Amino acid sequence: MNNMTPNREDYLKLILELGGDQIKISNKQIVSGLNISAASVSEMITKLVKEGLVEHTPYQGVQLTLAGLTSASALIRRHRLWEVFLVEHLNYTWNEVHDDAEVLEHVTSEKLAAQLEAYLHHPAYCPHGGVIPKENEPIQEIKRSTLTSYPIGTNIRIARVLDEKELLDYLVSLDLKIHEEYTIVEVADYEGPVTIQNDTKTLAVSYKAASTIFVDQL
């Protein structure tokens, strides 16, 4: 997150990223995700409910309405299109794009987004493997299991990782990249590292990181 005061779109996007199109998200999760006070969160939730963007169930949390989902999708669309642009045309690496994409998404009209999309030849995915929603369409992220859900011996391809700076810096330090294929060779007990291997490298991925890396089984 940047240092600006989060606006309603940032709330909607975070709620979506936490899974709020399908499940209820607690105020507490939003407080830690946006790094702001519980009072500000309650205040904004009240506004979002009034505007029909989320539904609130006392003691359980909020869930996006279709209008909320569409609005969050539009922001994610702009964010991910800029990420593709920065990586493909300005030589950013996948751990560097977040902050600038975060700023650009807020100053991008739908016309600019549409032109950018055409210029980039209608990319389907961002550099982190996230789906780029089409104009005026709610996002449909592909449901996948994480690296922690498969046993030793499984062949996998890295399909998507959370767009989170610390995680991405860690993956760069390990030299793990999207679309690479590996075999799971060791899963340590008690949430220890998951070791993956291919012809060129062997990587021990921390359990925390492995639980945010989504894979395709080969």
* Shortest Å, Cβ 200 to Zn ion: 25
The only residue of 126, 161, 205, 210 in contact with Zn ion, by rule CB under 5 A: 126
Written as one string, the DSSP assignment of 150-173 is S-TT-EEEEEEE---HHHHHHHHH
Please report whether residue 72 would count as binding Zn ion according to CB under 5 A: no
CA distance 75 to 89: 21
Of residues 150 through 179, those in contact with Zn ion by CB under 5 A are 163
The interface region with Zn ion, picked from 80-88, 115-123, 141-149, 179-187 by CB under 5 A, is 80-88
The interface region with Zn ion, picked from 33-41, 122-130, 135-143, 152-160 by CB under 5 A, is 122-130
Please report whether residue 128 would count as binding Zn ion according to CB under 5 A: yes
Structural contact between residues 84 and 126, judged by C-beta atoms closer than 8 angstroms: yes
Q: Is 122 left (phi over 0), alpha (psi -120 to 50) or beta?
A: left
Please report whether residue 87 would count as binding Zn ion according to CB under 5 A: no
In this structure, the dihedral spanned by the alpha carbons of residues 112, 113, 116 and 117, taken in order and rounded to 10 degrees, is -150
Please report whether residue 16 would count as binding Zn ion according to CB under 5 A: no
Please report whether residue 105 would count as binding Zn ion according to CB under 5 A: no
Contact residues for Zn ion, defined by CB under 5 A = 83, 126, 128, 130, 163
